[in-house]
Structure 1
Amino acid sequence: MSNPTIDLLRHHRSIRAYLPKAIKQDDIDSIISAASSASSSSFLQCSTIIRITDQDKRTKLAHYAGDQSYVASAAEFWVFCADFNRHYQLDQTLSLGKAEQLLLGCVDTAIMAQNAVIAAESLGLGCVYVGGVRNNIDQVTELLALPKFVLPLFGLCIGHPDQNPEIKPRLPKELVFFNNEYQAVDKDALAQYDQQMNQYYHQRSEHKKAGGWSDKLPSIINKEQRDFMLSYLHKQGWITK
């Protein structure tokens, strides 16, 4: 069973090449409206989007994010932030800095961003998330003048696609959807998925790789990755208690 919304969701691709074409203001407004309509825990609305129109800042953010050129060239680049500073401005007696608030901010902001992506894709636009804004998070914080209790989680490029990448296969239902309790990995399902991914990597038009999904996990998870994050969070007022 399918419908246009499900088809749109199932055909998501990350777009990293864009035509030099601006996005209509009406479309930008529609995307923002869709993002703002996302669910919010206890209606705290603890997320903020910073649209980057200054080209110098765009260039710096592209460099900070690992020299990802599309950050500078996409029609739009937005930085999504968890934000309790807005609440702090309204009442400085609030008890902030709790671990649960970090979770709320991350969850709410991710839901908001996914609404934005779905809205953009429904308009024929392409998007890619950019977690690399956290690579040099101190510099990003300074560049965007982010006060305490604001956390830049990721960026989002939006633009008119100039590529048509293949759809990357996802983990099968047997590995991500359980009934009533957590279940051990289904090794047969994983082996089939690894074979599927190996075939995908071999056949895709760009950035060909070899191997399955599971054999790449150690190189991704075990490498040193943003070990400065805990101290940064404390400095910004997050998870201090």
Structure 2
Amino acid sequence: MNPILQAQQSHKSIRQYTEQPIDDALLRQLIQSAQGAASSSFIQAYSLVQVTNKENRAKIAALAGGQKWIESAAEFLIICADLTRVEYCSIEEGLGELEGNAEHFIAATTDATFMAQNLMLGAESVGLGAVFIGGIRNDPAQVAEMLNLPKQVYPIFGLCLGYPDAEPDLKPRFPVDVILHKDSYDSSRCKNDVTAYDAQIHAYYQSRDENQKNSNWSAQTAGAVQKKKREHMLSFLQQQGFLKR
């Protein structure tokens, strides 16, 4: 198989790392390569904050729900949607300040996410392990204050990078036929698709080498989504200048 396709299909979230540091030149090369990701209208509306301060890492780990790998990873980056440069050029070109349009929020968020996925894939291609940390959104205001994030910037998620000290099992994804619709969306498939996938994931959880459990995709997903509403996010985003209209 093509090595890129193989790498894409082999992704595993890594939460245990060796003490080996990541060479700074390699990190910068990975970030530069990640910048090759697609960008909406070439706005490149993202920034990364490299968190090296141990006290701040510990605080963020606690805010994220006790995710200790934030502290043990060789590198921890905060991926931010960033419209500051976009607003600057808009003002300079006589088109005024940004007004918090939903479209601009979507463009910045997708720009940053495309870049971050490229960064993870590149890191994995050179033998590093990684995991995204959505838990920073438990208290984004405190994270923003800690990192001195200005208006028009918000932290989307964190990224742990390091050399793996574990080899977790590979989780099976939805079959392509579940997520691929032809010409129009077929809602009638949902029940059967989810039921079949629940059985597959239950078998996976029962067979893996570590952390076996009696669960399935529906139970995990419903709990994750309904217990992580983070209703503070809208007001925080509006305070940062997003989603005002």
- TM-score bracket, normalised by the shorter chain, equals over 0.9
Q: Which residue of 2 aligns with 1:220?
A: 224
Aligned pairs for 1:72-87 within 5 A: 72-87=71-86
Is the CA contact 1:174–1:189 (under 8 Å) kept in the aligned structure 2?
no
Q: Which residue of 1 aligns with 2:207?
A: 203
Pairing 1:168–2:190 present: no
1:196-238 deviation digits (Å, cap 9, x = unpaired): 1001111122322213212333322223521111111111110
In structure 2, the gaps of 5 or more residues are none
Overall identity of the aligned pairs, in %: 38
Aligned pairs for 1:87-102 within 5 A: 87-92=86-91, 93-102=96-105
State the SS of the aligned residue for 2:194.
Answer: helix
Pairing 1:124–2:127 present: yes
State the SS of the aligned residue for 1:197.
Answer: helix
State the SS of the aligned residue for 1:240.
Answer: coil
Is the CA contact 2:63–2:135 (under 8 Å) kept in the aligned structure 1?
yes
Q: Which residue of 2 aligns with 1:35?
A: 34
Name the CA distance, whole Å, in 2 between partners of 1:167 and 1:226.
Answer: 29
Coordinate RMSD, CA, aligned: 1.4
Q: Pick which of 131-140 and 190-199 moved more.
A: 190-199
State the SS of the aligned residue for 1:96.
Answer: coil
In structure 2, the CA distance between the partners of 1:9 and 1:188, relative to structure 1 (3 Å rule), is same
How far apart are 1:85 and its partner, in Å?
1.5
1:69-98 deviation digits (Å, cap 9, x = unpaired): 010110000000000112234444233310
1:100-158 deviation digits (Å, cap 9, x = unpaired): 01101111111000000010000000000000111111100100000101010000000
State the SS of the aligned residue for 1:156.
Answer: strand
Is the CA contact 2:78–2:156 (under 8 Å) kept in the aligned structure 1?
yes
Name the CA distance, whole Å, in 2 between partners of 1:110 and 1:4.
Answer: 22
Residue type of the partner of 1:32?
I
State the SS of the aligned residue for 1:180.
Answer: coil
Residue type of the partner of 2:34?
A
1:20-71 deviation digits (Å, cap 9, x = unpaired): 1101223212211111111110001100011111112111111111110010
Is the CA contact 2:87–2:98 (under 8 Å) kept in the aligned structure 1?
no
Q: Which residue of 1 aligns with 2:112?
A: 109
Name the CA distance, whole Å, in 2 between partners of 1:52 and 1:133.
Answer: 13
In structure 2, the CA distance between the partners of 1:217 and 1:239, relative to structure 1 (3 Å rule), is same
Indicate which of 133, 136, 140 corresponds to 1:137: 140
Name the CA distance, whole Å, in 1 between partners of 2:32 and 2:98.
Answer: 30
Residue type of the partner of 1:144?
L
1:174-201 deviation digits (Å, cap 9, x = unpaired): 2111111111235444333211100111
Residue type of the partner of 1:7?
Q
Name the CA distance, whole Å, in 1 between partners of 2:23 and 2:46.
Answer: 24
Task: Tell me the TM-score normalised to structure 1 length.
Answer: 0.95
Q: Pick which of 210-219 and 43-52 moved more.
A: 210-219
Residue type of the partner of 1:11?
S
Q: Which residue of 1 aligns with 2:237?
A: 233
Name the CA distance, whole Å, in 1 between partners of 2:87 and 2:208.
Answer: 49
